Amino acid sequence: MRIARKPGRPLSFDRNIALDQAMRLFWQSGYEGTSLGALTKAMGVTAPSIYAAFGDKKQLFLEAVSRYVSGPVTAQTLIDDAPDAHAAATALLRTSAIGFTGASTPRGCLLATSTISCSPAAADVQRQLAVIRKKIEARIKEKIADDVRKGVLPSGVDADALAGFVMATIQGLSTLARDGARREKILRVAEAAMAAWPHR
């Protein structure tokens, strides 16, 4: 079977690599803080090619976000693979602390920082990221509720508040990282946070 090849002039850049550069820039400066001029420079692609390949700036950003949350290790997989909610929360916080302080990436969390505040024109983008955050929180809440049903956690546990607490801590770790805190300290903060976990 032959490889189907589109007619016409081929792309002169690697779409994945260019998207990675865009993701990194959005991660660093946020959605509205990243200009198309900065994107063209970082991606090595002219504006018309970006628009042909990704649509407009909003679609490029959302695709970058999709790439950010679709790596081999995601919040989803961390939660699903953990034996219980405590292990899931610990893994989430530890992985966040590591991921927010990578030497070769921007500090903090793209999901937590890139549209926290923006002009009214970007309100819908802001809302879409909030939806993603809420889905993660809902998944944590389910995991906690599972533990309550199994008797791993006492029946009095407020799954809603505890899931919100885990999310809040992740967002907070992101800001600490943005403000320059070292990885080692953020890991200690995460550990201190897990002391809030209820026991049977």
Partner DNA sequence: TTTATTCCATAGTGATCGATACGTATCTTA
Partner DNA sequence: TAAGATACGTATCGATCACTATGGAATAAA
- Please state, in angstroms and rounded to a whole number, the distance separating the CA atoms of residues 147 and 166: 15
Closest to a copy of itself by CB, 27 vs 54, is 27
Q: How far apart are CA 112 and CA 183, in angstroms?
A: 17
Q: What is the C-alpha to C-alpha distance for residues 174 and 171, in angstroms, rounded to an integer?
A: 5
The correct pick among 20, 42, 58, 95 for binding DNA (CB under 7 A) is: 58
Tokens of 169: 């801590």
Nearer to a copy of itself, 45 or 122 (CB): 122
Q: How far is the CB of 165 from DNA (least distance, A)?
A: 35
Q: What's the CA gap between 128 and 115, in Å, rounded?
A: 10
Q: Segment contacting a copy of itself (CB under 8 A): 12-20, 46-54, 77-85, 107-115? A: 107-115
88 touches a copy of itself (CB under 8 A): no
Closer Cβ to DNA, 37 or 180, answer by number? 37
The string of DSSP letters for 166-181 reads HHHHHHHHHHHHHTT-
Lookup: tokens for 16: 């994945």
Residue among 13 and 105 whose Cβ is closer to a copy of itself: 105
In the list a copy of itself, DNA, none, the entry touching 30 (Cβ below 5 to 8 angstroms by class) is: a copy of itself
98 binds a copy of itself (CB under 8 A): no
Query: DSSP for 108-136?
Result: S-HHHHTTSS--GGGHHHHHHHHHHHHHH
Partner in contact with 167, chosen from DNA, a copy of itself, none, beta carbon below 5 to 8 Å by kind: a copy of itself
**Contacts to DNA by CB under 7 A:** 4-13, 32, 34-38, 45-49, 51-53, 56-58, 119
